Amino acid sequence: MARIRILPEILSNKIAAGEVVARPASVVKELVENSIDAGSTRILVDVEQGGRKLIRVSDNGQGMGRDDALLCLERYATSKIATAPDLFAICTLGFRGEALPSIASVSRFTLVTREANADVGTQIEVAGGRINNVSDVGAPPGTLISVAGLFYNTPARRKFLKSIDTEMGHIADTIASMALCRPSVQFRLSHNDRIVKSWAPAAEPMDRVADVLGAAIKKELYTVDQTTGDIEIGGWIASPRMNRSTARGIYLFVNGRWVKDRVIQHALFAGYTGRLMKGQYPVAVLFLKVPFDQVDVNVHPTKHEIRFVRQKMVHDTVRDAVADALRQSDPTRWKASEPRPAELAQQPARVSEPHAAYHLPPTVSRTGSSAGDTVARQAASTAHAAMAENRQESPPPADSVNPPVPPVDPTARNTKPARQALLWKQRFFADLTVIGQYKGTYIICESEDGLMLIDQHAAHERIVFEQLRRQSNAHRPAAQRLLLPETIDLGFRETQILEKLAPELDRFGLEIEPFGGNTFVVKAVPTLLDSSGIAGMVTQLVEKAAEIGVGADMETIVDECLMVMACHNAIRAHQQLTGTQIKAMLEQLDACDNPSHCPHGRPIWIQWRLKELEKHFQRIV
Ligand code: ADP
Ligand code: MG
């Protein structure tokens, strides 16, 4: 006897609803997506009791005629795709034709819709998937859908609804994410007849971002703008200082669709590498444009998940775009944005006077040739000229600058301003006026903009970390043979790890050889490192590698090892420094790629701008 049967449509819609309609926010998402697809410029969302009692979405979009209005409640009925190839060129938010019948099967559903050129609108009432009434109504052009008593006929689902506040939070997040991506559309959300959020159409996308994320963040946002091949990345990322403890400040969009994509999120974090600590999340709004046939949006009924054909390329483009944007935030780049060459060529060189308490050796800047000379001498090379122009701000000519100017990146001229800024990265910290040291831990400086505190340990950790890494990339750094090789005894797991790690460490001049069993000897140490306590450092380093796990890639493990070495060697807090030591450290900080964060992602400096201070003292309002 046949036991298999095709399920009635109402039941299959209910099953689909299980996936598409997880909670009130999913209803809001589907309805607002439809309003956007219908070309609406105003979308109003009214909610009662966190969406349990009522969700109503009205729009001024293209509306539907009576036939379409009836059809849209059928499963797999859509106006957005028609043929199989369309599935690989999806440019609308919807395409599955599932949302409306699913929602209507688990609620008391009313649809009112009118096309602009129709005399009259259509109203359809549905309960639990059954159409109860169809009638003509007077209605403005557009569509209004109300969903009452969500899950009234699926008590198990209803039981899983969270508190009103939680559900409202999800709804507000959903609308915020859609609003970010459609700045020209007006959105309004009300709860129990009170307006919760209202976003007027924004002329500039940035204004909508500030509206959604809060005005305070506006000053801390950096523009992301990069095109690699046919992948475009735009948007804004916030300074690492504005970090959050959850991923809720991360909004990712692909071809206008809000997605939760691990590849992009991973790339975003990779771009922030070294600027965030464990457990910190960045704030970012990123828009990717990828050719429609390069991305599969048909992965899950909620359409939140996507797959890229060229995943690695997307990943690396996002990572680089983010890293480039963040480089702009480092203080050494602040100067790059100042228009100056012509005007400065006429100005006398400005020299920052060190604090009287420190007798720093006179720098060449006081005796150096004029900026004009510098430019003239180096005009032969455009790249060098660019450096020289910038150097007018801090006058020592190239040949007498101390420390030596880092080599010019030959690719720099061909790329974007972010890269060009690298050429100009030379003196920011070295030009600060050192006021003193606080608690033997923080260096107090006066900058052009205000008052700065620099964490000496974090700064030095960053310096040693980058020096080690740079040296090992170029060639095996100078190593110092130990007169008395130090032995280390390790546990079983650590022994295995060190066996694998030793050849990598050798690249840094840290020479470790097996000595039988679980014993190793350290034979040479990079000259950059202090050889005292080296056995302890190596043990710590192996423990760190064990903690990360062998699954991680070698680069990550080696970076962690470099962090341990840098930490081991960096000057500590509560250590008095001489003026010369401070000055040398600031100069070395200028040579760092990331002078803003220690290798663990902690900030190296904080600054109060003069204006902020004056506000605190109520000198200005
Ligand atoms: P999909 O969006 O995947 O096509 P839906 O079930 O969400 O499926 O909607 C079915 C169809 O109903 C849509 O393709 C569209 O033609 C129509 N529709 C839904 N909502 C609206 C709306 N707000 N304005 C105009 N048409 C709508
Ligand atoms: Mg839809």
Mutate to test the pocket of ligand 1, among 33, 36, 72 (most ligand atoms within 8 A of CB): 72
Return all residues near 320 (Cβ < 8 A) that are at least 6 apart. 226, 228, 271
Task: Let me know: does 333 contact 424? Beta carbons within 8 Å.
Answer: yes
More confident residue, 391 or 234: 234
pLDDT bin (cut points 50, 70, 90) of residue 523 is very high
Note the pLDDT tens digit of each residue in 72-116: 999 889 999 888 888 888 889 999 999 999 999 999 999 999 999
The reported pLDDT for the residue numbered 348 is 36
Binding site membership of 143 for ligand 1 (Cβ less than 6 Å): yes
The reported pLDDT for the residue numbered 544 is 86
Note the pLDDT tens digit of each residue in 262-304: 999 999 999 999 899 988 999 999 999 999 999 999 888 888 8
Binding site membership of 72 for ligand 1 (Cβ less than 6 Å): yes
Residue nearest to atom 12 of ligand 1 (CA): 72
Across residues 188-212, what is the average pLDDT? Answer: 94
Across residues 220-224, what is the average pLDDT? Answer: 93
Return all residues near 529 (Cβ < 8 A) that are at least 6 apart. 510, 537, 565, 568, 569
The reported pLDDT for the residue numbered 72 is 96
What's the 291 CA to ligand 2 centre distance in angstroms?
22
3 state DSSP class of 221: strand
The 3-class SS string of 87-135 reads HHCCCCCCCCCCHHHHHHHCCEEEEEEECCCCCCEEEEEEECCEEEEEE
pTM above 0.95, yes or no: no
Binding site membership of 78 for ligand 1 (Cβ less than 6 Å): yes
Kindly report the average pLDDT of the chain as a whole number: 83
Q: Does 389 have pLDDT greater than 50?
A: no
- Bridge partners of 254, per DSSP, are 257, 288
Structure tokens at 493: 């797991």
Ligand nearest to the CA of 97: 1
Binding site membership of 59 for ligand 1 (Cβ less than 6 Å): yes
What's the distance, Cα to Cα, between the start and end of the chain in Å? 86
CA distance linking residue 456 with residue 243, whole number of Å: 22
The reported pLDDT for the residue numbered 426 is 66
What's the 293 CA to ligand 1 centre distance in angstroms?
23
Binding site membership of 94 for ligand 1 (Cβ less than 6 Å): yes
Structure tokens at 495: 């022994």
Q: Which atom of ligand 1 is nearest to the CA of 81?
A: 4
Q: Are strands 231-238 and 250-254 parallel, antiparallel or unpaired?
A: unpaired
Binding site membership of 58 for ligand 1 (Cβ less than 6 Å): no
Return all residues near 203 (Cβ < 8 A) that are at least 6 apart. none
3 state DSSP class of 48: strand
Across residues 369-376, what is the average pLDDT? Answer: 34
Residue 231 has what DSSP assignment? Answer: E
C-alpha distances (whole Å) from 270 to each of 182, 276, 281, 419, 554 are: 27, 10, 12, 18, 16
What's the 100 CA to ligand 2 centre distance in angstroms?
7
Note the pLDDT tens digit of each residue in 539-563: 998 988 888 876 677 888 888 889 9
The reported pLDDT for the residue numbered 29 is 97
Residue nearest to atom 23 of ligand 1 (CA): 35
Binding site membership of 80 for ligand 1 (Cβ less than 6 Å): yes
Rounded to the nearest 5°, which phi and psi values hold at 393? -65, -40
Mutate to test the pocket of ligand 1, among 20, 30, 37 (most ligand atoms within 8 A of CB): 37
The reported pLDDT for the residue numbered 582 is 95
The reported pLDDT for the residue numbered 445 is 96
Return all residues near 60 (Cβ < 8 A) that are at least 6 apart. 40, 41, 42, 140, 141, 142
Q: Which atom of ligand 1 is nearest to the CA of 62?
A: 25
CA distance linking residue 510 with residue 564, whole number of Å: 13
Note the pLDDT tens digit of each residue in 580-597: 999 999 999 999 999 999
The reported pLDDT for the residue numbered 550 is 62
CA distance linking residue 9 with residue 222, whole number of Å: 50
Q: Does 357 have pLDDT greater than 70?
A: no
Across residues 375-401, what is the average pLDDT? Answer: 33
Task: Let me know: does 488 contact 533? Beta carbons within 8 Å.
Answer: no
What's the 34 CA to ligand 1 centre distance in angstroms?
5
Binding site membership of 60 for ligand 1 (Cβ less than 6 Å): no
pLDDT bin (cut points 50, 70, 90) of residue 439 is very high
The reported pLDDT for the residue numbered 219 is 86
Residue nearest to atom 18 of ligand 1 (CA): 34
The reported pLDDT for the residue numbered 488 is 92
Rounded to the nearest 5°, which phi and psi values hold at 388? -65, -40
CA distance linking residue 207 with residue 270, whole number of Å: 27
What's the 29 CA to ligand 2 centre distance in angstroms?
9
pLDDT bin (cut points 50, 70, 90) of residue 18 is confident
Residue nearest to atom 14 of ligand 1 (CA): 78
3 state DSSP class of 497: helix
Mutate to test the pocket of ligand 1, among 62, 100, 111, 147 (most ligand atoms within 8 A of CB): 100
Task: Give percent above pLDDT 90 in the chain.
Answer: 56
Task: Give percent above pLDDT 70 in the chain.
Answer: 84
Ligand nearest to the CA of 29: 2
Residue nearest to atom 8 of ligand 1 (CA): 97
Binding site membership of 36 for ligand 1 (Cβ less than 6 Å): no
Across residues 145-167, what is the average pLDDT? Answer: 94
Task: Write out the DSSP string of 524-562.
Answer: EEETTS--TTHHHHHHHHHHHHHHH-TTS-HHHHHHHHH
Binding site membership of 79 for ligand 1 (Cβ less than 6 Å): yes
Q: How many CA atoms lie within 13 A of 439 on its CB side?
A: 9
Note the pLDDT tens digit of each residue in 308-340: 999 999 999 999 999 999 987 777 654 444 443
